[in-house]
Amino acid sequence: MISEYNTFVDQLVQALAQGHPHQLQWVLLAYAGTGVLLWSLRGRGWALMYVAMIPFVNWSFSWAPTLHLPFAPAFGFNPVTVVTGLVLVVRDFAQREMEHKVLVAMACGVAWSFYYASPHIALASAIAFALAESVDWALFTFTRYSLSTRVMLSSLIAAPLDTTVFLYGAKFLTFPNWLMSVFGKLLGAYVVYETLRRQEKKSAFSDSEMEIEAET
C-alpha cells in the first residue's frame, strides 16, 4: 500500500514538473502566483479550472491513445478531444465570473501550455487557441442569447477553427483527424448544452408557476 502511494506521488510530481522533479517548487510557486492573479481579478472556481485544463489537455495529447474505428481505421479518435471541447465551455463560465478580464486567464493558459507541451505543439495550440477563444469571447460578449445557446454556438464556430489551425500547425492535418477531433469537441459541448437547456426550461417553468400563484 505504501509503495503504491509512493509510486502515485512520484508520478504526480513527474507530471506537475514535466519530468523535472527539481523544478517542482518553482512550478508550485508559479501555480500559486497564477491563482492569486486570477483571484484578484474576480476569477474563482471556473477561472481556475479553465487555466488548469489548458496545459492538462496539451500534455495529455503526448500520451493519450488514439482509438481507431474498426470499420474505418483511418478515422482515429483521441478521447482528449472531448475535454478540449469542454475547455471552450468552461471559458464561457469563467467569463461570467471575470467578464472581460477573462482575457488574462486565457493568456495564463497559453503560457502554461508552453511549459507542458513540446514547442511545436504548444505553438500550434497557442495560435489555434487564441483564434478560437477570440471568436468565442466575441460571440459570448456581444450576443444576448440564452447561456445554453451561446455555449453551443460558440463551440460550433470555435471547435472547427481551433482544430484546423492546431492540426495544420502540428503537422497532423488529415480529414479523418479533423473530422474526429471536431466531433469529439462538439460532443463534450453538446453534453453541457443539454444540461444547461434543461435547467433553463426548469427555471422558466418555475418562474411561470410563481407568476400564476402571484396573480391568484
The string of DSSP codes covering 103-129 is: HHHHHHHHHHHHHHS-HHHHHHHHHHH
The model carries a pTM of: 0.68
CA distances from 107 to 2, 30, 113, 127, 152 (A): 40, 14, 10, 11, 23
pLDDT of residue 22: 86
> How many other C-beta atoms lie within 10 A of the C-beta of residue 14?
13
What is the model's pLDDT at position 184? Answer: 78
pLDDT tens per residue across span 109-148: 888 878 877 777 778 877 887 787 777 778 777 877 887 8
pLDDT of residue 107: 86
* Predicted pLDDT at 148: 83
Sequence ranges of the domains in the chain: 1-40, 44-215
> In this structure, are residues 115 and 62 in contact, taking their beta carbons and an 8 Å threshold?
no
Nearest to 125 by CA among 183, 191, 64, 81: 81
* Beta-strand runs (E) in 98-175: none
**Mean pLDDT score, 96-108:** 86
pLDDT at residue 35, as a whole number = 93
For residue 83, which of 187, 167, 172 has the smallest C-alpha distance? Answer: 187
pLDDT at 126: 77
Q: What is the pLDDT of residues 185-214, one digit of tens each?
A: 788 788 888 888 888 888 776 655 555 555
Spatial CB neighbours of 59, under 8 Å, sequence gap ≥ 6: 15, 18, 116, 117
How far apart CA 119 and CA 168 sit, in angstroms, is 15
Q: Which CATH architecture has domain 44-215?
A: Orthogonal Bundle (1.10)
Per-residue confidence (pLDDT) for residue 65, from 0 to 100: 72
Give the list of residues 6+ apart from residue 10 with CB closer than 8 angstroms, or none. none
Q: What's the confidence (pLDDT) of residue 8?
A: 67
CA distance 52 to 47: 9
Q: Which helix (H) or strand (E) holds 159?
A: helix 147-169
Task: Return the DSSP state at 77.
Answer: E
Three-state DSSP class for residue 187: helix
pLDDT tens-place string over residues 19-63: 788 888 998 899 999 999 999 999 989 999 988 887 777 667 666
pLDDT digits (tens, 9 = 90+) for 159-191: 888 888 877 877 777 787 788 778 877 887 888
